[in-house]
Homo-oligomer: A and B are copies of this chain.
Amino acid sequence: MRDSLVAAAFQLFLERGYEQTTVDDIVTLAGVGRRSFFRYFPSKEDVVFPDHERCLADMTELLGRSGDADDPVAQVCDAARLVLRMYAEKPTFSVQRYRLTRKVPGLRAYELSVVWRYERALAEYLRGRFAGRPDGTLRADVIAAAVVAAHNNGLRSWLRSDGRSDATAEVDHALAHVQQIFGTPGSSAETAGSAAPATPATEEDVVVVISKRGAPMWRVVQEIETTFGRDPG
């Protein structure tokens, strides 16, 4: 029932346009009553994004399960991947919706409010993990925003390719960029006891980085990452 309402709605949105389609049109095509529609979707906008509530619940559950041993940045990257997975499960639908959302300002606004809820979920989790640390709230907000922006950059690349590129590779690449900036895989201060794939860290180890004074910070960070990875534990 729910799926057939979504299918009917999208068929009409693509044929007539979003604004020109009413809830009555949708229920007539789906062969159900108006009340059935509103049992599943509070409004016409909600039928365009039928899976976000479930995805937000999954995200909250995933983050709720994570322990103190898990790297917080890696955790929010994994949480963001749930969104990618939801899109990648239905490539045709996702690409159609992307085109629709770009054309209808009301849907764009709806999408921004959904993105904001994801970002808040990630930020709340990070605020908990960074609680009591200097600038914990600030760091949490900045990292959550960076993860969402990177995820959406990768997701958009895939949507713009009409679903032809590798969605997972696009998003993984983008999230790796953020992890390189904010998280250190295997860094014990943040991830003591985590199952990160890097060499096990010992507080006593030291890493020496020699860098040209003129190098931009991101390049220095890259260098450190490489050094961390290359140096045998």
Chain A residues proximal to chain B, CB less than 8 Å: 108-110, 112-113, 116, 135, 137-139, 141-142, 144-146, 148-150, 152-154, 174, 177-178, 181-184, 187-190, 201-221, 224, 228, 231
Contact = CB atoms under 8 A, between A and B. Distances in A.
A144 B218 CA distance: 15
Centre residue among A142, A178, A210, A214 by max chain B CB count within 10 A: A214
Contacts of A150: 138, 141-142
Given A183-B217, A203-B213, A207-B213, A137 B153 contact: yes
A220 B224 contact: yes
Q: How many subunits of this chain does the assembly comprise?
A: 2
Nearest 3 A-B pairs (CB), nearest first?
Answer: A205-B213, A145-B149, A188-B214
Contacts of A174: 138
Given A183-B217, A187-B215, A149 B141 contact: yes
A213 B190 contact: no
A52 to B, nearest CB: 15
Contacts of A108: 113
